[in-house]
Structure 1
């Protein structure tokens, strides 16, 4: 049977109420006693979920539990050990070093000799460096331990490939509104109804931002109020609690997730969604210049010549922010987002860049044709530099139709404008020049 956690985890947030002692923090009293008590992770623990199948087969493989704070990673690991008859050996990467790992592995080896297997739970496993992560491999491979690591970071970046190849990654979801309400109901079952109006109760769940442990901690603060307290509205709730900003780490996964959401919302011409994602980043403390750099890139990549002013608008937002700073300058970002979101879209310039670079790699170092090379010296003129060059302004229609690609390379078409925005006019120009080019070729033939 698994022991109670000895080294603190950060994920004890999903809990069962029945039969628990009244002493201790609310979150501690509501810890789940079985996997069936866990809230919000049915995709893993119910039906054909991967963890449900392992428990049913009594065969647990090494795992990486990846999810945001307060979603039950530590609780699930402890209950998996209970359900499969493994000894639960918890370890925190924050407080442990090589000596601690050696002790854990030695104890697990001794238990194995006695017929008892060990579930080694490593909280915040991403904090171990690459060499330390490699140290787990022989003990996982020979079955000394079943490794269950918990992380809030993307395992693809935070863990080395050798360790990932020996463990299955399972993703825990942030608690949705329904799961958070269920958690509050469990708290009320062992305490008393929370003195909140319906609107304040919804605001409390929003403040928790999917973190069950934080939700219970805030509920516990509310329970310190006198029992006769009138129900709090949203304003009084905000005064009573220290509201934290939404979960957002500028240097980690969420940083890239939200900028991706902003970019794709703009590409999909959903202005309101784009404004929301940008606001999420700004409220979370993101550097506005990081956002505007993406807006400048977007203007060229996803709008391009369909609306050449898009790039100017994005650069103007950067200049406005440089000039005014926060918060006044952030309105320039808002205007740019609105302009970019409503502009006609084209990735023709982006595709033209890719195609031209691909052709440059494939065709190597082909020289320009001699007729478009300058001849500043007599020797170069004698060698044929600039011979036969047709000065386009001398042509009646201002177009010579000469070939400017290298000799031996067929003419390529990298830029293919779309029938949207300003590129409709560009199509007409390109078609006109192609007709003139074909006419000149026919005249030469």
Structure 2
């Protein structure tokens, strides 16, 4: 198979910045006496030293099983920053005696990839394989991703990709079919504490923090091990023998910004959490997820629109006022702006969470839409068509129409569906909130309709 990269133009993402592989080489050649960041000094030397990620590294976990059997497949690591994707890839190369080659999709162009593959082919002819670690692999376009396939298939490289984005959406199906996706998770507080203790041992002294401040420091890292080590390095540099409290710590350190991408997975994960908390009638959880999105920089107008949708979809006619509350909150935000107007959105979320729930209107509309698509262009029955001309009257338009206001109970019971089409039943109100009353009305009119039908048949 020809090298697919021969037909790919130079990528627009190629930059004059230093290549990741060159950076890795430079890092390995740093003199022993040169200063090194704490995160680099504490980089694990074996897979057993990796903190967290037992779900992929344990004896019965995917990587543990692969290493035990002596067979490795190409991999894609999916997870947030600072959880060990690069470190694990490097240690896998050591454990399998493969040459470790690291590139970044942000800085690597087609010419660089061709060189990497040629070097891997040469290495293979000399009897050694190559583990190619591709950071931010989702940044490569479709053609570039396809270019890896022949080299994966013939064994030139063992590909290990790393991405913070959902591979299902960002990576080609062909590449995914040749690689196993492993999910790496953010470090929990116990993992971060172990990392902090390891850092203190390396530094030769305990951090000058009391218990509450230490916990606050771990929370500042937000599950990111690299971020924690950077924070610890700052704290360790302070010249003090007095243990500081939370106030002293937070006055000197800025809390790490929460991980949130307004167009990525976190955006969809958090709006889903907000919606499901409202649907689950949990105002506290709903307010928490609303706050998470707002502090992450989400556009309040987007939230106002989605909150209004929740009122329509999950509350509906069980509380018709819910939509009005949301629209008023949206208007209030437009008038006040941030941050004052965000309070109105919070109040709307609280109201929705505590309102009676019904998706009967939503389900009825979806069912009616499905039926409308199925029945195509069936015309209305002639008796409910207007007849402004004689020709239309001659065609039977309007003939036999019963004017409901002239009927008993102002209800004629006529059929308004297309002729020959079975009557549909789409709206099934629940016995909650205002829909309890609507349910009574639906049943009342259904009874009258049946009564009228029997009378006509009789």
In the alignment, the residues of structure 1 paired with residue 389 and residue 244 of structure 2 have an alpha-carbon distance, to the nearest angstrom, of 88
Aligned partners of 1:374 and 1:385 also within 8 Å: yes
Per the alignment, residue 244 of structure 1 pairs with 256
Q: Distance in 1 between matches of 2:235 and 2:45?
A: 25
Structure 2 Cα separation of the partners of residues 110 and 8 of structure 1 = 22
Is 1:149 aligned to residue 156 of structure 2? no
Asked whether the equivalents of residues 126 and 159 of structure 1 are also in contact (C-alpha less than 8 Å), the reply is yes
- Gaps in structure 1 of 5+ consecutive residues: 13-19
- Give the whole-Å Cα distance in 2 for the aligned partners of 1:43 and 1:244: 26
| Distance in 1 separating the partners of 2:180 and 2:386 | 63
The structure 2 residue matched to 1:120, chosen from 132, 136, 154, is: 132
User: Is 1:49 matched with 2:61?
Assistant: yes
Distance of 1:262 and 1:187 partners within structure 2:
37
Which residue among 312, 318, 321 is the counterpart of 1:309?
321
The one-character-per-residue Cα deviations of 1:77-100 (angstroms, maximum 9, x if unpaired) are 000111112111111111111011
> 2:212 is matched with which residue?
199
Contact preservation (8 Å) 1:23, 1:29: no
> SS at 2:187's partner residue?
coil
* C-alpha distance in 2 between matches for 1:163 and 1:403: 56
- Residue 244 of structure 1, CA deviation: 2.6
User: In the alignment, which residue of structure 2 is the partner of 1:267?
Assistant: 279
- The CA deviation string for residues 10-30 of structure 1, in whole angstroms up to 9 with x for no partner, is xx9xxxxxxx99941110110
Residue 186 of structure 2 aligns to a residue whose secondary structure is coil
Residue aligning to 1:277? 289
Instruction: Indicate if the aligned counterparts of 2:222 and 2:256 stay in contact, CA closer than 8 A.
Output: no
Cα deviation 1:64-84 (Å, max 9, x = unaligned): 000000000000000011111
Q: CA–CA distance in 2 between the matches of 1:252 and 1:421?
A: 37
- CA-atom RMSD in angstroms: 1.5
CA offsets 1:26-76 (integer angstroms, 9 cap, x no match): 101100000011111011101211011111112110100000000000000
Q: Distance between the aligned counterparts of 1:414 and 1:125, measured in 2?
A: 47
What SS does structure 1 have at the residue aligned with 2:315?
Answer: helix
Q: Work out whether residues 94 and 124 of structure 1, in 8 Å CA contact, stay in contact via their aligned partners in 2.
A: yes
Q: Distance in 1 between matches of 2:167 and 2:33?
A: 37
Contact 1:207 1:246 in 2 (8 A): no
**The one of 399, 405, 410 aligned to 1:393:** 405
Aligned residue in 1 for 2:122? 110
Q: Quote the Cα distance in structure 1 between the aligned partners of 2:92 and 2:407.
A: 81
Contact 1:305/1:423 (CA < 8 Å) preserved in 2? Answer: yes
| Cross-structure match for 1:92 | 104
Q: Is this contact kept in 2: 1:39–1:179, CA < 8 A?
A: yes
The within-5 A match list for 1:22-33 is: 23-33=35-45
The structure 2 residue matched to 1:331, chosen from 343, 366, 372, is 343
Q: What SS is found at the alignment partner of 2:409?
A: coil
**Do the aligned partners of 1:92 and 1:122 also contact (CA within 8 Å) in 2?**
yes
Deviation at 1:229, TM superposition (A): 3.4
**2:195 pairs with 180, 183, 186, which one?**
183
Q: State whether residues 176 and 210 of structure 1, in contact with CA within 8 Å, keep that contact through their aligned partners in structure 2.
A: yes
1:339-396: CA deviation from partner (whole Å, max 9, x where unpaired): 0000111111111111111111222211100000011111111111011111111113
Look up the SS of the partner of 1:314 in the other structure. helix
Q: Distance in 2 between matches of 1:279 and 1:343?
A: 20
Classify the secondary structure of the residue corresponding to 1:150.
strand
Of the three residues 223, 229, 233, the one matched with 2:236 is: 223
Shift of 1:336: 0.4
Secondary structure at the aligned position of 1:317 is classed as helix
Normalised to the residue count of structure 2, the TM-score between the two structures is 0.92
TM-score (norm 1): 0.95
Contact 2:277/2:286 (<8 A) preserved:
yes
Residues 366-377 of structure 1 aligned to structure 2 (within 5 Å): 366-377=378-389
Deviation, 1:7, is 4.7
Q: Confirm or deny that 1:439 pairs with 2:457.
A: no
Q: Deviations over 1:146-169 (max 9, x none)?
A: 100011111111112111111111
Task: Give the length in aligned residue pairs.
Answer: 431
